[in-house]
């Protein structure tokens, strides 16, 4: 089993344990704020599953059925999870609204907060593991996961504080108000998960900055060509596809033109690891001298 998979499975197990503890805290107290805190953990479980799908399915090499690879499996599962996260947030909002109208004091509030606190400690420890491993393996994805978990721990502390205030002051509305606040935050993270993946499913182009580097590589590696035009790029999860037309002098032999293409391809692969490059070679009378001209 690879290191990435071990960490992925660890994230799911920790997420499930934290979710269980937080649900227990909710069940003990009847606090909607603690319920919303628990639902926040479903976001972590969902994203950890998406990451595992990405490692297992999206990393599969291209086959006869899927000649362009399986990258989009990752995006597809992330969109599904975004939908589930948004649904969870809407359910909390409904619960909060209900609790707001029929405000009642919490049962066993302190015991519940202790159980909830134990869940936060577990989250905090795993957050530390993710950040440490992420820095060690220079993995931005792991560091991002760790940071996300850290924000959960902080919002958990906020919820705990809110429930404590509710107990101390007897302000029953404080509990659903905290729940609604967390629900809005969950709604936002669900939307972000979905939005990022949707742009991938829609064949989004490389970012302007990377595109500029791609143009630079094409220009420097295709010495002797007349121009390059109709550059199109698309990303699908971890996969990148680059295609363009390369206009060369008509007198160039097929072997020479192919050698030029191989140099450009090698340059682009050095820039973006594992990118798929398709180059259409044209004689010089096809030069456009307009549009996305690179040379
Ligand atoms: Zn052309
Ligand atoms: Zn070739």
Give the number of the ligand closest to the Cα of residue 255.
2
pLDDT of residue 293: 56
Give the number of the ligand closest to the Cα of residue 266.
2
pLDDT of residue 282: 92
Ligand 2 centre from 279 Cα, in Å? 10
Ligand 2 centre from 253 Cα, in Å? 14
**HSE of 225, CA atoms in CB hemisphere, 13 A:** 30
pLDDT of residue 72: 82
Write out pLDDT tens, residues 203-257: 889 989 999 999 999 999 988 888 999 999 998 877 899 999 999 998 999 999 9
Ligand 2 centre from 287 Cα, in Å? 22
Ligand 1 centre from 285 Cα, in Å? 10
Give the number of the ligand closest to the Cα of residue 293.
1
Give the number of the ligand closest to the Cα of residue 257.
2
Ligand 1 centre from 284 Cα, in Å? 10
Range of weakest confidence among 62-71, 90-99, 198-207: 90-99
Q: Which residue has the higher pLDDT, 45 or 144?
A: 45
| Greatest mean pLDDT among 8-22, 24-38, 190-204 | 8-22
pLDDT of residue 289: 64
CA distance 230 to 232: 6
User: 């900055």: which residue's tokens?
Assistant: 209
Closest CA to 244 of 190, 195, 206: 206
Q: Supply the mean pLDDT for the chain.
A: 82
Which tokens hold the place of 13? Answer: 């197990």
Phi, psi of 264 (to 5 degrees): -60, -45
Write out pLDDT tens, residues 269-288: 999 988 999 999 999 887 77
Average pLDDT over residues 28-45: 79
Q: Which residue has the higher pLDDT, 49 or 216?
A: 216
Ligand 2 centre from 280 Cα, in Å? 11
Residue 136 has pLDDT above 60, yes or no: yes
CA distance 33 to 155: 11
pLDDT of residue 294: 57
Q: Which residue has the higher pLDDT, 295 or 181?
A: 181
pLDDT of residue 242: 96
pLDDT of residue 30: 78
Ligand 2 centre from 66 Cα, in Å? 21
Q: How confident is the model at residue 141 (pLDDT cuts 50, 70, 90)?
A: low
pLDDT of residue 34: 79
């Amino acid at each position: 089993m690879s290191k990435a998979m071990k960490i992925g499975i660890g994230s799911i197990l920790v997420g499930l344990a934290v979710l269980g503890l937080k649900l227990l805290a909710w069940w003990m107290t009847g606090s909607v704020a603690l319920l919303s805190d628990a639902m926040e953990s479903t976001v972590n479980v969902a994203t950890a599953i998406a990451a595992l799908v990405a490692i297992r399915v999206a990393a599969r090499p291209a086959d006869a059925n899927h000649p362009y690879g399986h990258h989009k499996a990752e995006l597809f599962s992330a969109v599904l999870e975004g939908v589930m996260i948004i649904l969870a947030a809407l359910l909390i909002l409904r619960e909060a609204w209900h609790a707001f109208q029929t405000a009642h004091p919490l049962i066993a509030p302190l015991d519940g907060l202790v159980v909830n606190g134990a869940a936060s400690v577990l989250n905090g420890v795993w957050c530390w593991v993710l950040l440490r491993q992420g820095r060690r393996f220079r993995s931005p994805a792991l560091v991002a996961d760790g940071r996300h978990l850290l924000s959960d721990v902080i919002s958990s502390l906020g919820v705990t504080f809110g429930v404590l205030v509710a107990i101390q002051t007897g302000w029953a509305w404080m509990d659903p108000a905290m729940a609604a606040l967390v629900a809005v935050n969950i709604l936002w993270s669900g939307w972000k998960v979905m939005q990022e993946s949707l742009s991938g499913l829609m064949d989004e182009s490389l970012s302007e900055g990377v595109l500029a580097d791609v143009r630079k590589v094409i220009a420097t590696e295709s010495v002797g060509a007349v121009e390059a035009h109709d550059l199109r790029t698309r990303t699908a999860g971890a996969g990148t596809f680059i295609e363009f037309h390369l206009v060369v002098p008509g007198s160039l032999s097929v072997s020479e033109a192919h050698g030029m293409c191989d140099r450009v391809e090698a340059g682009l692969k050095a820039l973006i690891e594992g990118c798929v490059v398709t180059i259409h070679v044209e004689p010089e009378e096809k030069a456009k001298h307009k549009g996305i001209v690179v040379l």
